[in-house]
Structure 1
Amino acid sequence: MEPKLSPAVIQTAQAHEGPIETDALIIGAGPVGLFQVFELGLLEIKAHVIDSLAYPGGQPIELYPDKPIYDIPAIPVCTGKELTDALLKQIEPFGATFHLGQTVTVVQKQDDGRFYVETSKGTRFLTKTIFIAAGVGAFEPRTLKVDGLDKFEGTQLFYRVKNPADFAGKNLVIVGGGDSALDWTLNFTAEGPNKAESVILLHRRDGFKAAPASVAKMK
């Protein structure tokens, strides 16, 4: 469930014959990257933002768009989408330019002190400063290596939960042992409108790499 983007916030960079020259380049459009846009805006510095996802929001919007998040300062509870929408609203006045769906492939220090940056889509920059807000890195699903399985992607095979209601009342197999796997297992087994008919969790190890509270609920 991608956030609704304001045209005042998400601008498409115009074609440039040479590199885009800017004072600030932010790598990562998650919560930290978006708040950095705000902080720079207070100093009247406009920023360009690069992210591998096709939309801003980072981990919260990719993994927890509709799940409650409890560890945001001063916000008792919100979803990933609500957090992202609030951050986008906050930076609207500062006119950041977003370059989405691409990753940084080249960073080179120049003789004049600036940095030359190039992305996987060939977008080039000359920037005075780089702010790295990449979190755990680019979000790319670890796909299952099974011949012929790709034809089921989007119908019976999913690497991301966009709308939990789509899985209500169904028989699910969740593969993984991290936070996302456990969170969705707990979500789909809990009483409520999104409860699945059955849930099987498959993990290659005996233990889980997830928040202790989630692991405790699985026991």
Structure 2
Amino acid sequence: MNKTDIIIIGAGPVGLFAVFEAGLMKLRCYIIDIISSPGGQLTELYPKKPIYDIPGYPKILAGKLIDNLLEQAKPFKPGFTLGERVDSLKKKGEFFEITTNMGTKLQGKVIFIAGGLGSMEPRKPKIDLITNYERKGIEFYVKDPKTYLDKKISISGGGDSALDWAIYFSEKCKTPVNLIHRSKSFRANNDSVDKIFELKKAGKLNLYLDSEVVSIDGKNGCLYSLSVKDRNETKYNLETDCWFPLFGLVPKLGPLGNWGLDIEKNAIKVDNANNYSTNIKGIFAIGDINTYVGKLKLILCGFHEATLAVHGAYEIIHPDKKKTIKYTTIQGVTGFD
């Protein structure tokens, strides 16, 4: 059984940065995530989307940020168990022991819960046969946009994600993109809304407002067309190679909601005056999964929380040792052998 100083549940940007900060304090980490690759939502949902609010990077793609965080953490040799969900947690002496849905067991002196918004599931429209065409023309997120540039694309949704991808594909694809929204107004950035109408006027985008997909059809085992109906009962048949229903994600805490942690509105309550500790000693929650007065769900705030949580973890793991601040400008970065 693997034993470590800190078990980090969640391989998103905040969890990965916690590995680096822990390494500076000579604490070893082991990361576990239900997603099959590191990066959390950044790699699973929008690896090619730019991020503009990371200090020192005027612009960086989400996937590239994860690559950099993995490289930064590499000297500290974190362990990884990916594609497995943490199902249970119990205390065994000085260690916490977790067990995954695949039976993997890990022990750590401290637990960091860095699971983003928890276990995320796409909000799926209630349409007959939709499961028959998942990954066969129906996708709930855009992983590699370049693979769709020669396709006939339809997008449903009225939020930022739907409009961002509608704009991207309208500017890149040879055939006009279909954007379908059940309302007359959007819930997105005003600049994006203006751009949508510009693309419509230019003939690069077909816009169906007050409309929704009511049925789908396939050919040779793959999606072939969508049947769209507006509020006047007018129907449109749209030939479609790939349909993205982008209605957001449904966050679920999953099994960790049964661990005795203080939960408030699907988030874990923490003491931000005490290194983002939870009500259970030795368990910290960092990133989007926690809540406290003044909470901001930003990656850079998660980095700050991870740093302070590591210092809190050090005091638990080494109660007899004096904690000192490690300045990398003076000491550099010395990894583990």
Instruction: Give TM-score, length-normalised by structure 2.
Output: 0.52
Counterparts of 1:42-57 in structure 2, within 5 Å, are 42-57=24-39
1:76 aligns with 2:66: no
1:105 corresponds to which residue?
87
| Consecutive aligned runs of 4 or more in structure 1 exceeding 6 Å deviation | none
* TM-superposition CA deviations, 1:164-216 (whole Å, max 9, x none): 12222433221233432222112112x3xx33522233344555555565456
Of the candidates 12, 15, 20, which is equivalent to residue 38 of structure 1? 20
Distance in 2, Cα, partners of 1:130 & 1:214: 40
Distance in 2, Cα, partners of 1:87 & 1:210: 29
Counterparts of 1:126-165 in structure 2, within 5 Å, are 126-165=107-146
Shift of 1:141: 2.9
- The alignment of Structure 1 onto Structure 2 pairs a total of residues equal to 197
Structure 2 unaligned regions, length at least 5: 198-337
Structure 1 unaligned regions, length at least 5: 1-15
Specify the SS of the correspondent of 2:141.
coil
Say if 1:79 and 1:22 are closer, same or farther in 2 by CA, change over 3 A.
Answer: same
Distance in 1, Cα, partners of 2:79 & 2:176: 44
Tell whether the 8 Å contact from 1:52 to 1:139 is kept in structure 2 after alignment: no
1:168 aligns with 2:149: yes
Distance in 1, Cα, partners of 2:185 & 2:9: 33
Tell whether the 8 Å contact from 2:43 to 2:143 is kept in structure 1 after alignment: no
1:117 corresponds to which residue?
98
2:178 corresponds to which residue?
200
Q: Point out the structure with max Rg over C-alpha.
A: 2
Shift of 1:28: 0.9
Of the candidates 77, 89, 92, which is equivalent to residue 74 of structure 2? 92
Amino acid aligned to 2:30: H
Tell whether the 8 Å contact from 2:155 to 2:162 is kept in structure 1 after alignment: yes
Specify the SS of the correspondent of 2:119.
coil
Distance in 2, Cα, partners of 1:91 & 1:203: 42
Amino acid aligned to 2:103: G
Instruction: Give TM-score, length-normalised by structure 1.
Output: 0.78
Distance in 2, Cα, partners of 1:148 & 1:65: 29
Percent of residue pairs identical: 45
Tell whether the 8 Å contact from 1:63 to 1:180 is kept in structure 2 after alignment: no
Amino acid aligned to 1:177: G
Decide which structure has greater strand share.
2
* TM-superposition CA deviations, 1:121-150 (whole Å, max 9, x none): 222223211112111222333344433333
Say if 1:156 and 1:125 are closer, same or farther in 2 by CA, change over 3 A.
Answer: same
Tell whether the 8 Å contact from 2:8 to 2:32 is kept in structure 1 after alignment: yes
Say if 1:106 and 1:202 are closer, same or farther in 2 by CA, change over 3 A.
Answer: farther
